[in-house]
Amino acid sequence: MSVRAVRGAIQVELDERQVILDGVSELVKEVMSRNQIEPDQLISILFTATPDLKSEFPAYAARQLGLIDVPLMCASEIAVPGALPRTLRLLAHFDTELRRGEIRHVYLRGAAALRTDLPQ
């Protein structure tokens, strides 16, 4: 078994609490589904939000999904001029038998423009 990392991002429509919670929930579920990750395989998740998203902590959505004993952290993405707005990102570490090249990174909605090199 190896420790691997997976990236993901989603762009949300606006800075509202429920919109952020729904977006993070969708992202976490899709990352776990595409990589066959069970909750007990998760080591930690780091969430970032662009500076224009302030209505809720992204980690709260993961807690609502039942990820109670997984270390979670939220941070603000750096404010680079011209960067994609209203974007939530995650970096999750997990135990897996998957090889590095088998990891499926997930970019949803407008965030798909961040990684056009990846299959959707």
Which residues have a catalytic role annotated? 7, 63, 74, 77, 89, 107, 115
Q: Is 106 in contact with 30 (CB distance < 8 Å)? A: yes
Residue whose token pair is 């709260």? 60
| Six-digit token string for 41 | 């395989």
Among candidate residues 106, 118, 80, 75, the one with its CA nearest the CA of residue 11: 106
| Six-digit token string for 88 | 């939530």
